[in-house]
Structure 1
């Protein structure tokens, strides 16, 4: 039996599972936090369950420690480290035979998903339209530049609920305006699956404008479609990354006074579809690319008025 270091264990696990760069970064971040607590000289085989419990006590949020991490964050750490240890034990890379991360998760409070309100979305649209008109009339850059591009991006999140990583992997050749569909590649998918998405009527003008601009800029079919760097002199990167999208939403949040993010648009879409009288769980599951229908069911919220009517119709005693 070997006794590898945390870094060697992480390297072996990433190679064996053929992890994507983003997944490697996530695992590495969790391992780095744990090593910081243990001390960088510690080896995986030295870790006991009690040490894991002590780490949990030291970092999880409590009334006395409001700056600690949430229960969901802790459970996320546990999932990653438990997988690493299971791999190490199975392949005899760690000099121990029991996973110290078994049964150390905690119950996390069930809270509604953070979404957006229709008024907030309308206001965000007005803000972007003001920026677009300013740039068009004065030929100057607004705070959000180029506004027309970011309009297209925001509307794509609004109408499709697409995940950020999926959007960043859309290529110019993935969009078929004639059939009004676009392809989401398996590369950017959380579920590692390719799919075809419709382009709703409200999104079509924005998608068409983006495709025309891409064509005029000399895009090739394999070029990243949502790439602000190709449409703006302010941005200098080769491809658009997560940081640039997050920076846009940070600026939009500052201008609107509301927290805006791709995931909140995704939650808004899921809630809207499941609150509709014509709701179809399986169609919603397909649109949101959920592998487990239980995830889709989380968007069903109790109808308070229906509950009130049920209680009011009880026979008096």
Structure 2
């Protein structure tokens, strides 16, 4: 039996599971937080369940510690570290037989998913349209630039509900305007599965504009399609990244006066599909690329008016 360090354990786990760089960064960040609490000289084999509980008490929020982490964040930390310990114990990389992260999860409040209202989406569209018309009329950059490009980005999130990482991995050759479909690659998928999705009628003119602009700029089939750097002299990076997209939504949120994000558009789409009278759970599951239908079912919300009618229909006593 070996007794590897935390960093060695992460390295071996990442190689064994063939983790993507983003996942490796997540595991590394969680381990870094744990080691900061324990002391950097502590080895995984030295950790007891009591030490884990004491760490949980020290960082999770409470009435006396409003600035602590949320229950969901703790469960996320514990989930990653539990996986590392299970791996280390199974392959005898650490000198212990019991996982100190067993049964340390906590109940977390089940809050409604943060979404958007139709009026908020309409207003966001108006804000972007004002920016686009300003740039066209004055021939200078607005606060959101180039506005036409970010219009395409926002409408893509609105109509498809894809995740941010999926959007960033779409290549020029993934869009087929003739068949009105596009490919969301496995590389950008949270579930690491490729999917082919339809291009809704409302999204078609936006993607058409983007494809024409990409063609005129000399894009190749394997080039990142949603790449603001290719359409703006103000942007200097080679590829568009998460930060640039989040910066756009931050600017749009400031102009609109409320929070907008790719995930809120995803929740809006999912809720809309599941509230439709013609809803099809399996179709919605495929659109959202959920591996577990229970995740899709989380978007089924009770209809308050239906509950009101049921209560009012009770016979009087």
State the alpha-carbon separation in 2 of the partners of residues 100 and 29 from structure 1: 19
State the alpha-carbon separation in 1 of the partners of residues 150 and 170 from structure 2: 15
Deviation of the 1:226 alpha carbon: 0.3
1:22 to 2:26 alignment? no
> Who is 1:150 aligned against?
150
1:43 to 2:60 alignment? no
> In structure 2, the residue corresponding to 1:155 is in which secondary structure?
helix
Deviation of the 1:316 alpha carbon: 2.4
1:12 to 2:9 alignment? no
> Who is 1:279 aligned against?
279
State the alpha-carbon separation in 1 of the partners of residues 32 and 232 from structure 2: 37
State the alpha-carbon separation in 1 of the partners of residues 26 and 196 from structure 2: 28
> In structure 2, the residue corresponding to 1:196 is in which secondary structure?
strand
State the alpha-carbon separation in 2 of the partners of residues 63 and 150 from structure 1: 42
> Who is 1:31 aligned against?
31
1:217 to 2:217 alignment? yes
State the alpha-carbon separation in 2 of the partners of residues 162 and 231 from structure 1: 22
TM-score normalised by the chain length of structure 2: 0.99
Q: C-alpha offsets along residues 246-294 of structure 1, whole Å, 9 cap, x if unaligned? A: 1110111111111111000000000011111111111111110111111
Deviation of the 1:297 alpha carbon: 0.6
> Who is 1:202 aligned against?
202
TM-score normalised by the chain length of structure 1: 0.99
| Misfit runs of 4+, over 6 Å | none
Q: C-alpha offsets along residues 176-222 of structure 1, whole Å, 9 cap, x if unaligned? A: 00111100111111111111111101101100000000000000000
> Who is 1:179 aligned against?
179
Deviation of the 1:305 alpha carbon: 1.0
> Who is 1:293 aligned against?
293
> In structure 2, the residue corresponding to 1:221 is in which secondary structure?
coil
> Who is 1:108 aligned against?
108
RMSD of aligned residue pairs (Cα, Å): 0.6
Deviation of the 1:315 alpha carbon: 2.1
